[in-house]
Structure 1
Amino acid sequence: MSVTFKQVAELAGVSTQTVSRVTNGASNVAQETRDKVNAAIDKLGYVPNKGAQLLSGAKSKVIGLITLDVSLHGISIIANNIRIQAQLHGYGTSFAVVDEHAYQKIVTATRELKSQRIEYIIVNLPLTKEEAEQLVELFTDLHFVFIDVPNNSQVNSVSAAHYQGASEAAQLMLKQQRQRLLLITGPHDSTASTLRLQGWLSQIKHFEATVVAQLEGDWLASSGYQLTREALSNGAVIDGVLVASDQMALGVLRALHEHSLAVPQQVAVIGFDDSADSAYFYPPLTTIKQDFAAISAQAVDMLFNDSASEPPFKAFVATQLIERASTQTLDSKTYNKAQIEQLLQQVKNALP
C-alpha cells in the first residue's frame, strides 16, 4: 500500500499543505520544519507524485540538459557529471538529445523541457553567438548555461581552456623537432574545435613548421582512421599528428600502424580530452586533459548563481598536458628512415 501525503504530515506533525510546500521546493518553509518533513518522507519511503506536481503548476526540481549524442566520450562524461552535480543540489536531470546542429531542433528540445516545468537548462552542443543569444531571448523565463559557444557570446557559459591546451600540445610536438604536421580537427561548427585549431596554428607559425594537411573529423575514431589513411594515401610525408579528440586519435594510431609508421619513433601523436582509455592505447597517448567534473560543477553552480554582478557569467577551466609514450624527441636518423619508408610506400601504392 502506498504512503500518502496525510501519513507524512501526521508523522512530521505538520499540515498536508506544509508537506506539499516542502515536496514542491517552496522557499517559505522554516528549515526545522523542512527537516521534520524530509525525515518523515525518508522514514515512510514516500515518493512524491511528479505528475500531480506538474498539474498543480509547481516548478520541477529537475535540471534539463540539451546535448549531442551521448555515445561521444566527452559528451557522456559531462552528462554523467551534470547528473551527479544536480543531485548534490537536490535536483534530478532530464536529457534532451539533439542529433545534429540544427537551431530549430534545439528550440523544440527547450520547449519540451519547459513543458515539464523545468526552468534550469544546460546546453552542451555547438551554437553560434547569434543562436545562443536568440535562444535566451526567446525563453526569458528560463535559466541557461552553455558549454560550446563563442567566447564573445552574451550568455552564461563554461568551457575548458581549449586554446591554451592546444597551444601546449603543439609546443611539445614542435620542441620535439616535429616539423611536418597533420592536423585533424573536430567539426567546424564547434567552438571548442575552432579554438584548438587556433591554438595549434599559433605555435606552428611561431616555430615555422609545416602543416602538410588539415582535415575535419567528427570526434569519432572512425574519422581519425579514415582521414589519416586518406592523407597518407595521397602522399603526405608527416612526422606528427595533432588530433582534436582522443577518440579520433585512436583511429589515427591504427591508420599509422597499417602504413608501417612507428609511433612515436617516426610519427608522434597528441590527442585532446584525456579519456579514461587513452592511457591504454598502444602506445599510451599523450593528450590534453579536460577536467570534465569541474566543467560540469561550474555549469550547475552557474545556473543557481545569485551574484549581484551583471551577467553574462563566464568560466574557463584549465587544461593539463599529460605526456605518455606517443611522443618523443625526433632522432634525425629516425626521421631520414621515416622519409625513405614513406616514399617507398608511395612508390608501392603507385605500382599496378
Structure 2
Amino acid sequence: MSASASHPPKAVTLNDVARAAGVSHQTVSRVINEHPSVAPATRARVLAAIRELGYRPNALARKLVTGRSKTVGIVGFGTTFYGPAQMVLSVERALKGRGYGFALASVDDLERPSLEGAVRELGRHDVEGLILITPLREVSLAEIDALCGGRPFVMIDVAKGSPLPSVVIDQGHGSALATRHLVDLGHHHVAEISGPLAWHDAWARHEAWRETLLKAGLTPGRSVEGDWTAEGGYRAAEALLSSGERFTALVVGNDQMALGALAALSERGVRVPEEVSVVGFDDVPEARFYRPPLTTVRQDFAELGTRSAALILKAIEARRAPQLPPRPEQVCLTPELVVRLSTAPPPR
C-alpha cells in the first residue's frame, strides 16, 4: 500500500491560506470573520485562495473567536411533502449564500412537546435564530417567543396578516386564481379536493375556493378532504364520482393529489378537460408532463427562502444591537396561475 493511500491528505490550515494569498494569518482570520477593516482587494485575494485550496473554517474555532455560531435552526413539519421540502431546501440555499450554516429538526406533529423537543435539539447546536416551517393555524407571538426561548425567529406557512414575524405565500389568492379561471371558462359546477384542513394553507385554499364561487353567484360543489398524496387524491376523486353529484371542474389542493385524481377520472372514462377540468397547486416539476399537462398555481419557493433568510438574519442583527429593537414583520409573496391543457370550457 502506498504512503498516500495509508495516510489521508493533510487538512488545509489557515496558515496555508495565508501563504497562498501572501498575507498574515491574522488577515485571513479577519476575512473569515467578516471584519470590516480588510481592504476589498485583499479580501478578494484571500477568498480566492480559500476557494482554490478548499479551506473549511472550523465552526467551533470561529465561535471561540467571534462569540457567534453563524448557524440558524430550522424546525420542519411535513417535510416528506413537496411544498415543505422545497421550503427547507430554499431556506438552506439562501442561508448558505449568506455565509450561515443550518441545523434541521423535523417533527411528526404540531403538538407543543414535539416543537419544544425540536427547539431543545437545535439549542445544542447553539443556533442564533430559528425558522419554523410549521403550519399552525392559531398561535400568538408570546407563545412562539416562549417556545423559542427568546431567540429571534421567523415563521413560514402561517396565515396572511398574522402578527408573527413571517414569510408567507398568499394561499387564498392562489386558490382564488384557480377558481376564477374555471368560472371564467364558464364552469358552474366546481368541486374540490382539499388538503388536510388542520393545515392553515389547506384551510386558506379551501375558504378561498368557497368564497370565490359564492362571489360569482355560484353554489360551491362537494368538497372532499385529502391528505396531500396521490393516493389520497385518487380516493377523494373516487368519492366525488361515487356521490353522483355533477361537477364539470375540480380544484385540487396540490399537484400530487391532482395526479391521483386524474388517474381516478381516467379509470372511470371521464375525459380531462373535455368533460372535467382539473387545476392543481404548487407547480411541481412533473406537472407539465402529466396527461394532460396540469393547469396549476406556482409558488416561488426560491424567493421564499431568500426572504426568510434575510428576515431571520435581520432579526439576529437587531437582537445584537439593542438600539435597533426587533419589530415583527410579515413578507407576503404572490403566487401565479400557470394555464396548461387540463382546463377548458365545460361541455355543452
**Structure 1 Cα separation of the partners of residues 150 and 43 of structure 2:** 27
Q: State the partner residue of 2:6.
A: none
- Three-state SS of the structure 2 residue aligned to 1:96 is strand
User: 1:21-60 residue pairs with structure 2 within 5 A?
Assistant: 23=32, 25=33, 27=35, 30=38, 38-53=47-62, 58-60=67-69
- The aligned amino acid for 1:85 is A
Looking at structure 2, the residues matched to 64 and 254 of structure 1 have their Cα atoms a distance apart, in angstroms, of 39
Deviations, residues 171-209 of structure 1 (Å, cap 9, x unaligned): 111222222222111122222112111211111112232
1:253-283 Cα distance to aligned partner (Å, 9 max, x none): 1111111111111111111111111111111
Counterpart CA distance in 2 for 1:43 and 1:73 is: 36
Is 1:252 paired with 2:261?
yes
The separation in 1 between residues aligned to 2:335 and 2:34, in whole angstroms, is 39
Once the two structures are TM-superposed, the CA of residue 285 in structure 1 deviates from its matched residue by 0.8
- Residues 1:326 and 2:326 are matched in the alignment: no
Which letter maps to 2:24? V
Preserved CA contact (<8 Å) 1:243 1:270: yes
Q: Answer yes or no: is the 8 Å Cα contact 1:246–1:287 preserved in 2.
A: yes
CA 1:31–1:198: 2 relative to 1, 3 Å: farther
Corresponding residue of 1:338: none
**Distance in 2 between the 1:207 and 1:324 partners?**
23
Contact 1:54 1:116 in 2 (8 A): no
The Cα shift of 1:166 comes to: 1.1
Residue segments in structure 1 that go unaligned for 5+ positions in a row? 333-352
Q: 2:218 corresponds to which residue?
A: 209
Aligned with residue 14 of structure 1, among 9, 24, 48: 24
Write the deviation string for residues 90-149 of structure 1: whole angstroms up to 9, x where unpaired.
Answer: 123322222222232122212222211211322112124426641223435422111112
Look up the equivalent residue of 1:324 and give its one-letter code: R
CA distance in 1, matches of 2:142, 2:236: 34
- 1:1-352 to structure 2, matched below 5 A, reads 1-8=10-17, 13-14=23-24, 23=32, 25=33, 27=35, 30=38, 38-53=47-62, 58-130=67-139, 133-305=142-314, 311-332=327-348
Task: Give the stretch that moved more between structures: 112-121 or 238-247.
Answer: 112-121
Q: Structure 1 residues 113 and 31, CA, compared in 2 at 3 Å: closer, same or farther?
A: farther
Letter in 2 for 1:166: S
Q: In structure 2, the residue corresponding to 1:71 is in which secondary structure?
A: coil
Cα deviation 1:307-334 (Å, max 9, x = unaligned):
86862111111111111111111132xx
Residues in 1 aligned to 2:145 and 2:240: alpha-carbon distance in whole angstroms:
42
Superposition TM-score, scaled by structure 1 size: 0.83
The answer to whether the 8 Å contact 2:140/2:164 transfers is no
SS in 2 for 1:168: helix
Structure 1 pair 240/35, CA: closer, same or farther in 2 (3 Å)? same
**CA–CA separation in structure 2 for the residues paired with 1:227 and 1:202:** 21
CA distance in 1, matches of 2:128, 2:112: 19
Query: In structure 1, how many angstroms separate the alpha carbons of the residues matched to 2:170 and 2:160?
Result: 11
Change in 2 beyond 3 A, CA 1:117/1:310: closer
Amino acid at match of 1:218: D
CA distance in 2, matches of 1:51, 1:213: 57
For residue 146 of structure 2, give the secondary structure of its aligned residue in structure 1. Answer: helix
Instruction: Report SS of the residue matched to 2:222.
Output: strand
Letter in structure 1 aligned against 2:284: S
Compared with structure 1, are the counterparts of its residues 141 and 41 closer, same or farther at alpha carbon in structure 2 (3 Å cutoff)?
Answer: farther
Residue 141 and residue 170 in structure 1: after superposition, are their counterparts in 2 closer, same or farther (change >3 A)?
A: same
Deviation at 1:298, TM superposition (A): 1.1
In 2: Cα distance, 1:118 partner to 1:179 partner: 52
Classify the secondary structure of the residue corresponding to 1:288: strand
1:123 aligned counterpart, secondary structure: strand
How does the TM-score come out when normalised to structure 2?
Answer: 0.84
Any idea what SS the aligned residue of 1:212 has?
A: coil
CA apart distance, 1:35: 5.2
Distance (Å, rounded) in 1 between the aligned partners of 2:114 and 2:64: 26
TM-fit CA distance, 1:242: 0.7
* Structure 2 CA distance for aligned equivalents of residues 293 and 156 of structure 1: 19
Letter in 2 for 1:320: E
Percent of aligned pairs with the same amino acid: 30
Number of equivalent positions:
330
Structure 1 counterpart of 2:5: none
Q: What one-letter code is carried by the residue in structure 1 that aligns with 2:336?
A: Q
Aligned AA (1:282)? R
